[in-house]
Structure 1
């Protein structure tokens, strides 16, 4: 139902946020993502995000295997093609071991981490 979709969306948002670059805010964020229904729905929120932040979003939407190859190549070569990348449970421990993930600290009080399905939250976390 609606609660499960909300949890999935939060989980996917978490996956995206895990690899968000830190530092100065960009005027345009380039996001590499898989072309599944949840991520396509998130793309529908782009205008609202841009209106609220002034940050434009450029989506690079790819098939899962192509995405995995492109983002892994980009991160290992420090290519910098993408500001934000969606990764899955397979990549999370590998990327964490390589210090390629950014911690989700200082989240808004409105962000309810416990609303993310426990299995998804655990699979997309490194060291707790």
Structure 2
């Protein structure tokens, strides 16, 4: 009986991980595509491109994670998501400025760097805090 329970737990964790990655890919893809499109089609500065692409990505991410990945709702999760998103936004903004202004990276490479690093930290922080449910009935 204990083994069956552990297998069920492992299967649930794997399913959660897969759903997180599906949403993450969609959110990351939205950031990347919006960033690339704005970089190619507009005279906007990299920081403005980052801001617009980030907003699109955040809306995609919260909606997907709350309703598809973790299947939760409520102000508790929104507030936690906002806090972590703020931290990640600040970190990715600093990265954008440093790469573009200090090292002279193009818009494409700047957007690519944020696209690669952001999801890694997002998964870690959202898994251990944002959407953590202390009680199975939540």
Give the TM-score taking structure 2 as reference length.
Answer: 0.26
Structure with bigger RCO (C-alpha 8 Å, 6+ apart)? 1
- Higher strand fraction (1 or 2): 1
- Higher helix fraction (1 or 2): 2
Give the TM-score taking structure 1 as reference length.
Answer: 0.27
